Amino acid sequence: MSAYLSLAWKPTPLWEIEGGLRFERYESDSTFTHVDPRLSIKYRLSEMSSLKLSGGVYHQYMSSIQRLILASIWMSADKHNQDSRATHLIAAYNRQLGSVLSLETEVYYKDYKNIYIFNQNVSAQVSPSYYLPNGNPVYSSSENVFTRGDGRSYGLEILLRKDVGAVTGWVSYALSRTEYVFDGINQHDQFVPRQDRTSVVNLVVNGNVNSIFGGRWNQEPPKSTSNWLLGLNFVFTTGQPITVPSSAYYVNTLPDWNNYNTGTDEDLPNYKLYPGAID
């Protein structure tokens, strides 16, 4: 159950202030109730540019838990695993560049509490709730199945858009970093999760072929059923973090074992994608 209350105030033509409160109540085998604040302040620097500051607190009651190979699973908050909380702080600068281009820039900082991964020692710390007649164990409790941690992410995002004319599209660049700290993992030192990408570039170009060859570059394409549309995309990301063994030990008694570096301290090769479409 949730409800949201917001109030907007414009004290002068240059200032816009909006605040809000979000009430949430979630029930599983435990009950979670929160009232989260939200606030945004926008200042118009000129007719063509503006500055915006915003922040808020967010709670989430479902957590995506990554597995080693297969797809992630979802875990619900319960009496053993608390709900996740994020605090967002964002500063944005927007500017209109002429009549057809717009520039959007944003810097952000996000703090995370109560994020979860699978407990690496789950087999030693989890006991069956009961056994079936055939002897198979049944696990009905999430106690000790997941490891709790905290994290943060921060970065810069830049977006250049063109929404008018025969050729439209956008190009964006994101520079970011995410860091996690988990109880009993990596000697309680920070490490980057595998979904972290330091740099991401996206380019999307859509062209109306009829208007391009007709010389109508900055005009809306005419309404016609015979228009040819050309779309081009480009995606570049830096490599996914991975953890690799730094050495291996072989002894006369079992088990042998590998010695791993600190978590996710190596990166896979950069990723590039060049899709296109004709309609």
Q: Report pLDDT digits (tens) over 163-197.
A: 887 888 999 999 999 999 987 777 778 888 888 88
Please determine, for residue 16, whether its predicted confidence score (pLDDT) is greater than 80.
Answer: yes
Average pLDDT over residues 264-271: 67
251: confidence class by pLDDT, cuts 50, 70, 90: low
208-to-122, 178, 205, 230, 275 alpha-carbon distances in Å = 57, 39, 10, 6, 17
Is the Cβ–Cβ distance between 24 and 46 less than 8 Å? no
Average pLDDT over residues 272-278: 61
What whole-number distance in Å separates Cα of residue 251 and Cα of residue 103?
A: 61
The dihedral through the CA atoms of 244, 249, 250, 252 has a sign that is negative
**pLDDT score of 206:** 86
Q: What is the pTM of this model?
A: 0.78
Q: How buried is 178 (Cβ within 10 angstroms: 0-12 exposed, 13-18 middle, 19+ buried)? A: buried
**pLDDT score of 73:** 79
119: confidence class by pLDDT, cuts 50, 70, 90: confident
Please determine, for residue 256, whether its predicted confidence score (pLDDT) is greater than 80.
Answer: no
Average pLDDT, the chain: 82
Average pLDDT over residues 80-106: 93
Q: How buried is 252 (Cβ within 10 angstroms: 0-12 exposed, 13-18 middle, 19+ buried)? A: exposed
